[in-house]
Every structure is written in C-alpha cells, then in structure tokens.
Structure 1
Amino acid sequence: MGALDGILVADFSRVLAGPYATMLLADMGADVIKVEAPGGDDTRNWLPPERDGVSTYYLGVNRGKRSVALDLKDPADRALAHELSARADVFIENFKPGGLSAYGLDYPAVRERNPKVVYASITGFGAEGGAHLPGYDLIVQAVSGLMSLTGSADGPPYRAGMSVFDVITGLHAVSGILAALYAGGGQRVEVNLMSSALSALVNHTSAVVAGEVTPHRMGNAHPSLFPYEPLECADGDLVVAAGNDGQFRKLCEVLGVPELADDARFARTRDRTANRAALKPLLVAELKKRTRAELFAQLSAVGVACGPINTVTEGVALAEDLGLEPVVGPGGVPSVRHPIRFSGTPAGYRLPPPALDEHGDEIRKWLR
C-alpha cells in the first residue's frame, strides 16, 4: 500500500507544475483523476521528442493517473466536475486566478459542497497584483533574477536548461497538500512560481534582503566558495567542489601540492574566495596532468566532491551504475523513478500515462 492510498485527487491542472505534483501524489498511492479539456493537455502535442507518437514531455509527468475529458462549458460535463469536486480529498488547479469561478469550481464553491477538501491553486504570480500575468517558467526565470545569474560573466543572460521553477513549484504544491491533509483538510493551499523562485534562489535572495548586495553573473563560479566549478584536466573539465578547509587540504594532497593548504592566501574559505585568481592556475596546472576518470576516482576516494560534466544520457547511466534504478516502466512506458524511497509504503507505478479520456466511461459511470 502507498502512503496516500484512499486519497482521491481531482486534477484540473495541465502542462508541468500541477501534473508533476499530481504524478508524485499518484506514485505515493493517491487515486488521481486527470480532468482534461476535449483537446487534451497542451503537452500531449509538444513534439519532438516522442514515443509511439506521444510527446515524451507529457509521458514524463502523467503516469499513475486516470483521464476523463470534460467540457466545462457543457452543463452535463460541468455537473460531473462538480460531483468529482464534492468527492475529492484534494482538488488541484492551475487556471488563471478566478478562471474557474464561472464554472462553479473556484475555492468557495468547491468548499461549500466539500468542506474537508484541500484546494491547491498554482499560479504564476499570485492572486493579487500579478493575477493578470501568465505563469510561464521562462518569464519567471527572467523577472525573478535567475537569468541575470546564468551565463558567462561577460556574456548574455541564459535560461536554465529545464523548467526549474515549474518543478520547484510542483514540489511546493505537494508539500503544502500533504501538510494540509495532515492538518485535517478544509483549507486552500496557494503556491506561485514567483514566490517559489525567490525561495529557490536562497543565498542570492538572502544576499539582497540581508546583505543589500545584488548578485551578478559569474559563469560557473560560486560567489562564496572556491574551488566550486569546472576545472580543466588532461581530457576536459571536471567539476570540483571543495566546500570546506578539510576538503581543500585533501584536494591538495591528492594533487601533490599539500603546501597550498598551508599558504596564508588559501588557508580558509574566505581566503580562497578572495584569491581565486591566484589559486586557480596553480590547481589547474596539477589537474591537467591527469584525466577526469583518474581524478574522479582519486578525489572521490578521499571524500572530495567532484564529477565529470555528463550528458543527460550519461547521467541516467551513472544512476544505474550506482544502483539507484532510475527507470521504471508502468505499462511498458519508461519513466524516471519517484525520487523518495519509503521503507514501509513504497512508491508504486500502477498505470502508464493515460490516453486522452482513456478512463472516461468508467469515471462518468462512477460519478453519475
């Protein structure tokens, strides 16, 4: 049995943040009913890449759910949506603020018919001054400041290589839903991409609000640590992360230059950060004498964090080599394992991502 067996989730979300959240809930045992418009979730058509004609984007965030297509403008379908909201333990949506009120599916209406419901809303910029702004991850990466931090110091700003704030907001939604269920339900949980972004920028937003410092783009460098970036070896770059004085000393010993750890310019974290321009070429001169594979093995053996810059394919392969078993295949459709391991209530993968309205008949019959 999953930890959330017996929990019914009415999923009125689409694209990424909401579907990612509800997939995680499904993995943990919840019965998730994915309510789609007759045209289906937008990501069904985000191609390429694809598997058997279906978008891998859609496949990546929708396993474990049952799909029903409902046209909320149709009175009969709208009545079914009302009945589903009355039975659900969790109702989750990512419409624009106020967008569901016309259909009687806003929080006051749903709570009136279901006082114990946990009603989770995901927006881009909240329900107040930013209610009119569309919630695209790329836009939030721009306006939150993340893009100002991403890219080389003397180059243009870049987006992250994935929809980082959609995923983080989905995780926050799961956290809020679980907390509200634990508290007994009967409340609204609101998350938005902008607040999630500012929270996720942690040390950078802390620099602004606590230190009155505006962070700036530094390429792969870290503002408070060195070495904590890719460094050149004999056959390419290796990311090296010496997060404290002890790790730096071990790094120097492996490289055969223990005297660097005793040099007053480099002895402490603050010193190494201030004198990175002097320290970096000294380290690179030694690193270039060995290959990435040699250094990965030697540094890892003494507890110095490091790693090659892999492709995503190589990343999955590494997880397999480490025994993390990253790939699961419900219904023959490969996807990435739930990230949490439970000793007593393990995650399960009961259903593959559903076709549009695949379970429509059984769900309509059950709701009538």
Structure 2
Amino acid sequence: MTDAPTPSTALSRFTVLDLTRVRSGPTCVRQLADWGAKVIKIEMPEGLDQGDPMGGPRLGSDFQNLHRNKRGLTLNLKHPEGVALLKELAKTADVIVENFRPDVKERLGIGYEAMAAVNPRIIYASISGFGQDGPYADRPGFDQIAQGMGGLMSITGEPGKGPMRVGIPIADLTAGIFCSQGIMVALLEREVSGKGQWVQTSLLQAQAFMLDFQASRWLMQGQIAKQAGNDHPTSIPTGVFPTSDGFINIAASGNAIWARCAKALDLGALITDERFASGEARSTNRHALNALIAERTKAFTSADLVERMNKAGVPCGPINTIDQVFADPQVQHLGVAQTLNGNKTATYVGQPFTLSRTPSAIVTHPPAIGEHTDAILAEMGVAPADIARLRAEQVV
C-alpha cells in the first residue's frame, strides 16, 4: 500500500481507518499505530474542519504526541461521495475507530451496520461519553465529568476539602486504551469466526472499572471509600513524608515491611507498641503513627532516605516533577522518551511495554491535514482528473 517507514511489524497486516478526535479516540488509535498498523487519519477538508478543540495546535506537543505514525486523508463525510469513498476504503480495512456522539455516525450513514454491510469482517470500535444507548447516551462526554460521575473525584484529595480531579485526563486515556484492547480481542476472535463485530466502551465505563478495589469494597463489602489524601486507604503506613529538603513516598504495608521500615528509621520500639502492632491497630492509630514517622524522616535528605529505605527492603521513592521524571536514570534506561530519527527536538512519549522481536518506534510525525490524500486515493484507483474534481467540490 505504501513504502512509508513502519513503526513495528507486529500489527503491519492490519489497516485502520481513524475517524477520531480530541483524546480518547486518538489514544486508542495510537496504540495500534505505534505497533505498525497502517493507520489512515481521516479529517474534514480544510475550510470545512471545525478544529480539534482538545488537541491543541496541530504543531503543538499534545497533538503531535497523540497522532504520530499515521497517514492523513481528508474526506467530507457530510457529502454522499465522501461517504462512498469511506465505504470503499472500509471494504479492505480491518478496523474503524470513531468517537462521535452516538447519533452522529447514524445521521452520517457511517455507523456499524452500514460499514458491516460493505465489509462483514470489519472491527468497528466506538468510544462515547456514556455508552451507545441508555438514559445518558446523548450527553456530550468530557473527562472531568466522567471522573466525577465515575466516583474518582470523591476519593481523590484531602478529607474535608471537597472533590478533586486527578492531574491527567484518566477517563479519556483509559477508555482509549481499553478500546484498543477490545479491538485486539475482536481481531483475535475474527481469526476463528471470520466475522467482525462492534467494540464499544465509554469514559464512564472506563472510569468505573478503574475504581478497582475501591469499587469491590462497595460491591462486596458495602464500604464507601472516602478521601484519604496521600494516605493509602488500607495499607498503613503508606503516604507522603517530609524530609530535610522536600518530601518522599513510603509504602510500608504488611507487618514484615512495617517492621523493616521502623528499624530503618531507628523506630524499632514502635514494632511492639500495641497501637501499631497489627494492621488493624495501625489503621486505627494512623495519624499518631504518621506523626512519629514524619518527625523522624525530617532528619534525612530525600536522597539519603530513599537509599536507606530501599536498602532495607522498604518501598520508597522521590516525588518527582515532570522534568525530574525524564532525568531519572531508570526512566532513561527504559526508553520512555523516544526521538524521531534521533532528533531531540522531536521527542515523544513511547509505548509503555516492549516486545523482544517486534519493537515499536516513532517513525513519522503526525500528518499535515490531508497530507496523503492524493496518494491514498490513487491507491484506491481514483484517476487524477477525478481527484482534482473531488478537491474542487470539497469532497476531499
């Protein structure tokens, strides 16, 4: 189809039509593009495009990080010929990903049933705010709304100071990652059945799932978690402690690690103190225990205490700013930041897992709007004169 560089050979046999915007959808497609799927990013032609309000400027870091490793095509999906061209592409594609509001794709005539009619093997993936149907289906989705409705804000922040959002759009990001996982499951199932299917997820589903043990505490035990600030709700002592030059995290869950923590801080007498002798006792007296630990940790620098605790087998680490994260030697060793062709002015956040034989790489910048339109149409067999007409009529 193209001799463009390939990020990976792992998914290179699959073609993905990317109709997504904003963040959750692009997050999903990025997982496929970085592992080598042939992704065609489809946008409205210039002049008709309403912009990508949450993606920031096209040359900005956010948009660039979301849309690398793709080719770009413009199609006016409000025009019958634009829809016809999309359906022609769908005949040989493997996956379509969209995050329109549920009614929009049906109004355009590009929903799952329409696409499955031209290609029964198509995996059609949809991300919405609240689901494709149900009482909230028509509501616009937004990450912070999902954080609130999905319970996360009720357990984030310090007690008594009101609900708090987390510092990243976690509902958007997890919905996108779960959607990519759903696509991979559907592709694996297709190898058995030969049939495509509709993958659906939403910001609300993703956020509720990410409550994890806090959700199971309610569903199985009837316990409603509350805000605990930096204190872990069940593993004590775990939290943020002051040092002579800042703060560090200590996680001393369980009796064995707690004993090692106390000894490392020269607080061995607390191990047999009845107030702290069991997990239940430490939970009841957490504030008193934290105060005793904090008084001791202030005697150390952050670096010294991190080294001391880890040497004792107690989980402990610094609280890094973003620049310190990427300066960390372990982060650098893991290759989290990846450059494009060694150009340090174009540095991206790389994939968070590795494959030994078919690694992922950043090989192309995001496409300019419609950058590959002529080439893709030519690959479809559209004649140059017809491409010119389609451009003149703002179909592409």
TM > 0.5: yes
Deviation at 1:40, TM superposition (A): 6.7
| Contact map agreement 2:254 2:279 (CA 8 A) in 1 | yes
Calculate the TM-score normalised by the size of structure 1: 0.94
Residues 119-155 of structure 1, C-alpha deviations (whole Å, 9 max, x = no match): 1110110022221111110111111121122222121
Give 3-state SS (helix, strand or coil) of 2:62's partner: helix
Runs of 5+ in structure 1 lacking a partner? Answer: 48-52
Is 1:105 paired with 2:110? yes
Q: CA offsets, 1:239-294, max 9 Å, x none? A: 11112222111111111122222323223322211211221121112111111110
**In the alignment, what sits opposite 1:244?**
254
* 1:345 match: 358
**1:222 lines up with 2:229 in the alignment:** no
Question: Does 1:162 pair with 2:172?
Answer: no
How far is 1:328 from its partner? 1.3
Please give the residue correspondences for 1:200-349 in structure 2 after superposition, counting only pairs within 5 Å: 200-318=210-328, 323-330=333-340, 332=343, 333-349=346-362
Once residues 101 and 132 of structure 1 are traced to their aligned partners in structure 2, the CA distance between those partners, rounded to angstroms, is 13
Question: Partners in 1 of 2:332 and 2:311 — Cα distance?
Answer: 15
Aligned to 2:334, the other structure's residue is in SS state coil
Match of 1:118 in 2: 123
Cα separation, 2, equivalents of 1:143 and 1:256: 45
State how far apart, in whole Å, the 1-side matches of 2:329 and 2:62 are.
21
Match of 1:354 among 339, 360, 367: 367
Q: Given the alignment of the two structures, is residue 175 of structure 1 paired with residue 181 of structure 2, yes or no?
A: yes
Counting matched residue pairs gives 363
Determine if contact 1:82/1:104 at 8 Å carries over to the other structure: no
Choose the corresponding residue for 1:192, options 195, 202, 212: 202
Q: How many angstroms apart in 2 are the aligned matches of 1:269 and 1:123? A: 42
SS for the counterpart of 1:68 is strand
In structure 2, what is the Cα distance between the partners aligned to 1:218 and 1:13?
36
Among 5, 8, 12, the residue aligned to 2:15:
8
Residues 56-103 of structure 1, C-alpha deviation per residue, up to 9 Å, x if partnerless?
111121110111111111232222111122221011110111311233
2:170 maps to a residue whose letter is V
1:60 and 1:76 mapped to 2: Cα distance?
32
Change (3 A) 1:306 1:322: farther
The structural deviation recorded for 1:301 is 2.0
After superposition, the C-alpha distances for 1:310-331 in whole angstroms (9 at most, x for unaligned) are 1111111115665112221226
Map 1:67-106 → 2, pairs under 5 A: 67-106=72-111
* Structure 1 residues 236 and 360, CA gap change in structure 2 (3 angstroms): same
User: How far apart are the structure 2 equivalents of 1:21 and 1:164?
Assistant: 13
Between the aligned partners of 1:86 and 1:70, the Cα distance in structure 2 is 16
Distance 1:21 1:330 in 2: 21
Q: Distance in 2 between matches of 1:210 and 1:326?
A: 38
Q: Which moved more, 1:310-319 or 1:187-196?
A: 310-319
Do the aligned partners of 2:23 and 2:55 also contact (CA within 8 Å) in 1?
A: no
Aligned residue identity for 1:16: R
Equivalent-residue separation in structure 2 for 1:89 and 1:233 (angstroms):
54
Cα offset for 1:104?
2.5
- 8 Å CA contact 1:3–1:29 kept in 2: the answer is yes
8 A contact 1:90–1:118 mirrored in 2: yes
What is the one-letter code of the residue matched to 1:68? L
Conserved? CA contact 2:350–2:361, under 8 Å:
no
Picking from 358, 364, 379, the partner of 1:366 is: 379
Residue 59 of structure 2 corresponds to which residue in structure 1? 54
- Equivalent-residue separation in structure 2 for 1:40 and 1:363 (angstroms): 23
User: For residue 50 of structure 1, what is the aligned residue in structure 2?
Assistant: none
Query: In 2, Cα distance between the equivalents of 1:341 and 1:75?
Result: 43
Secondary structure of 1:87's aligned partner: coil
Ranges of 4+ aligned residues in structure 1 off by more than 4 Å: 319-322
Q: TM-score, normalised by structure 2?
A: 0.87
